Amino acid sequence: MPDTDGRVVVDREACIGSGVCVLHAPHTFAHDDEAVAFVADPGGDPAEDIATAVEACPTGALRLTARETEE
């Protein structure tokens, strides 16, 4: 399972609005007026649910990126 201690990113051009992300992580993802997903609250759901949403996206429009650290 991917590490979810980072940032969730939506490729809005790749999103087809299937709603799978909202189904698995409804507090993290939402759809705008054009039915395109966006991150409403990056920590809105348990990390496991967010990872499931990312893995289940039919177009691969969701990804997790490493958290940027300050040095």
Q: What is the pLDDT of residue 1?
A: 38
Q: What is the pLDDT of residue 66?
A: 80
Q: What is the pLDDT of residue 47?
A: 93
* Residues 11/63, Cβ–Cβ less than 8 Å: yes
pTM exceeds 0.85: no
pLDDT in tens, the chain (71 residues): 344 457 899 999 999 999 999 999 999 999 999 999 999 999 999 999 999 999 999 999 999 988 655 54
Domains of the chain with bracketed CATH: 6-65 (3.30.70.20)
Strands (E), the chain: 6-10, 29-31, 37-39, 62-66
Q: What is the pLDDT of residue 69?
A: 52
